[in-house]
A and B are shown apart, each in its own frame.
Chain A
Amino acid sequence: QVQLVESGGGLVKPGGSLRLSCAASGFTFSDYCMAWIRQAPGKGLEWVSHTCSPVSNGNDADSVKGRFTISRDKAKDSLHLQMNSLRAEDTAVYYCARGGYGAYYFDNWGQGTLVTVSS
């Protein structure tokens, strides 16, 4: 069955960096778009970034553009999110999700990893 397992979350100071990872299994990773979606404490869902191939063909939300970089490792079936210049408002649970029909919807989600940006 499809499994998505995130890791890499933690506490980081404002202006710092963090790299999230998502290990995928149970499906042909290269056939699917993958995304990061976050949820601030007590808030709703917010799309962060998605990628549809090793060469890119995705996009980032304006709120993270220029600071976050999504990438995928085809050899290891893993998705990553490099987060730089972190701000307090980036504090959230970050979910890795598999895209359906491109990235129009997300049919499988990981359990999430918590990122806390605080001094």
Chain B
Amino acid sequence: QSVLTQPPSASGTPGQRLTISCSGSSSNIGGNTVNWYQQLPGTAPKLLIYSNNQRPSGVPDRFSCSKSGTSASLAISGLQSEDEADYYCAAWDDSLNGPVFGGGTKLTVL
């Protein structure tokens, strides 16, 4: 059972805007920044968003993140077929003294 809670699946059509939620607690999301990872099928995870809403070089601005209290969400605008992947939220947890992850959301582009 993951510390952060995400919906197991999400789906959308090309061009659509879609959001994926992530819920935590005061010891993780509530007190620290949120990060998101994208894992394409059969590959290692890749950092998608860090420090709430910073994108590493090469990540398109179609991806953005927002945070409120102990929850966060990843927004993907202009959905594309290559966005089909598993998405994980993560945050530092002050009680565990380590990073915690969500269970992952499998995104399907219809």
Which residues of A does B touch, CB under 8 Å? 35, 37, 44-47, 50, 59-62, 95, 100-101, 103-112
Contact = CB atoms under 8 A, between A and B. Distances in A.
A45 to B, nearest CB: 4
B63 interface: no
Interface of B: 2, 32-33, 35, 37, 44-47, 50-51, 56, 88, 90, 92, 96-104
Contact of B104 (A45, A61, A104): A45
B9 to A, nearest CB: 13
Which of A59, A106, A108 has its CB near the most chain B CB atoms (within 10 A)?
A106
A37 B37 CA distance: 13
Given A47-B100, A47-B101, A50-B98, A104 B32 contact: yes
A95 B44 contact: yes
B44 A112 contact: yes
A46 B101 contact: yes
B94 to A, nearest CB: 11
A105 B35 contact: yes
Contact of B98 (A59, A100, A110, A111): A59
Contacts of B96: 59, 61-62
A112 B45 CA distance: 10
B98 A61 contact: yes
Contacts of B2: 44
The 8 closest A-B pairs by CB, nearest first: A105-B35, A44-B104, A109-B44, A45-B101, A105-B50, A44-B103, A59-B97, A47-B99
B37 A104 contact: no
A100 B44 contact: no
A45 B38 CA distance: 11
A61 B96 CA distance: 8
Given A47-B99, A105-B50, A107-B47, 13 more contacts: A44-B101, A45-B45, A45-B90, A45-B104, A47-B100, A60-B98, A61-B98, A100-B50, A101-B50, A104-B33, A104-B35, A107-B56, A109-B45
